[in-house]
Amino acid sequence: MESVKRFERAGGTHLVLSHLPYHDLREWDENGYGPIYERTVGLAQRSMKSTGVEVYVTLGPYPVDLVNLEKKVGLEEAKKILIDGMDLAAEYVQEGKALALGEIGRPHFEVPDDIFEVSNEIMKYGMELAVDLGCAVVLHTESTDPETCEEFGKMADEVGLDRGKVVKHYSPPLITFEENKGLFPSVLASEKNLRAAAEKGNRFVMETDFLDDPKRPGAVLGIKNVPKKTKKLLEEGVFTEEDVWKIHKENPEEIYDIEVEL
């Protein structure tokens, strides 16, 4: 909540909150992902009560969980736990407590083939649920390039999910269709990335991947980064007012079917 206050003081008005891998809740009892999702929704609600910031939530089984669970309970049971977590996240979306399914996907590091294949199955299942829910998915995967974007795009095509509803978290500045294959890039908002993105267009959103982890202060980028960088690049003429309106209002509205009041 204190971080959200800093975000607000820097000019931030809206943000998307995804849950951390809360290690103290990784007991995997009969409650599954319930306590993890409840903590995240609770943080969002308390943050909105103490600030004027609109906090949206995305929920879904964190892909790396499959790696850790496979060691504890075996791959089939691990897959079941993540599928159950995806179903539960879908309930939160249906009830209006969450905006989208995410971050879902596959581990961002090399894993054995069977883990990789099951991760893809779970990710595709999440996309199927998103079609039924009419919501977006936010993908956590390995580093992205046009080839992986096309892979995820084809996966979305197979289940009938609009590629524009597939948000690539932690994206480099893959802004053109030739680069992102119709997926929606959520660009990690370093100044270098943003300058590169702005040269190609304004079909992207911005993220910090801010963790708010006391053991890793400021990781990945600070929470004030998006409003501060937006103002700086607008003043320098890198962004136009039209770009800022597109990036921070029209694009999120298109992705998430929300109304962003600025």
- Model pLDDT for residues 210-229, shown as the tens digit of each residue: 998 888 888 999 999 999 99
Q: Which residue has the tokens 């509803």?
A: 165
pLDDT class for 29, splitting at 50, 70, 90?
confident
154 pLDDT higher than 70? yes
58 pLDDT band, cuts 50/70/90, is: very high
The candidate with the shortest Cα–Cα distance to 137, out of 118, 124, 121, is 124
| Global confidence as pTM | 0.96
Q: Which of 86-95, 154-163, 214-223 has the lowest mean pLDDT?
A: 214-223
Q: Is the pLDDT of residue 26 over 90?
A: no
Topology of the domain comprising 2-256: TIM Barrel (3.20.20)
- The one-letter code for the residue type at 73 is V
Look at residues 106, 6, 98 and name the one whose alpha carbon lies nearest to residue 45: 98
Percent of the chain with pLDDT over 90: 91
**Of 186, 176, 182, whose CA–CA distance to 220 is shortest?**
186
Strand partners, 101: 59, 137
> Could you tell me the residue ranges of all domains in the chain?
2-256
Tell me the average pLDDT across 2-18. Answer: 97
Mean pLDDT for 175-197 is 98
Q: What band does 31 get if pLDDT is binned at 50, 70 and 90?
A: confident
Q: What is the pLDDT of residues 235-254, one digit of tens each?
A: 999 999 999 999 999 999 99
Which pLDDT score, from 0 to 100, does residue 28 have?
66
Average pLDDT, the chain: 96
User: Among 213, 254, 206, which Cα is nearest to 19's?
Assistant: 213
Separation between Cα atoms, residue 138 and residue 183, nearest integer Å: 10
